[in-house]
Amino acid sequence: MNLNDSTNDESSNQGNNRINKLDIPNGLKEILINHQFDVERPYDISAEDLSIALSIDDSVARIIIDAVKELHDEN
């Protein structure tokens, strides 16, 4: 394993930890992690675009976006 792999793993773990802090069902967290979404990305994406990217309903995408905004407001 080279240094870049280690750095990417650490960054990925930090991103997963932030996703796990979202107030959404675990299944949605798994979808975000599997699609390698950063919690910053859903914050800046429309519900329609997120729903297309993740193959989910617009209403579910809105739940994710609202949870991301809530997490950012807490920090």
Domains of the chain, by residue range, sit at 3-74
Cα gap 25→27, rounded to integer Å = 5
Alpha carbon 10 to its chain's center: 16
pTM of the model: 0.77
> Which residue intervals of 1-75 are DSSP H helices?
3-20, 26-34, 40-43, 47-54, 58-74
Model pLDDT for residues 14-67, shown as the tens digit of each residue: 668 889 999 999 999 999 999 988 787 666 789 999 999 999 999 999 999 999
What is the total residue count of the chain? 75
Write the CB contacts of 21 (distance below 8 Å, at least 6 apart in sequence).
71
Greater model confidence, 65 or 13:
65
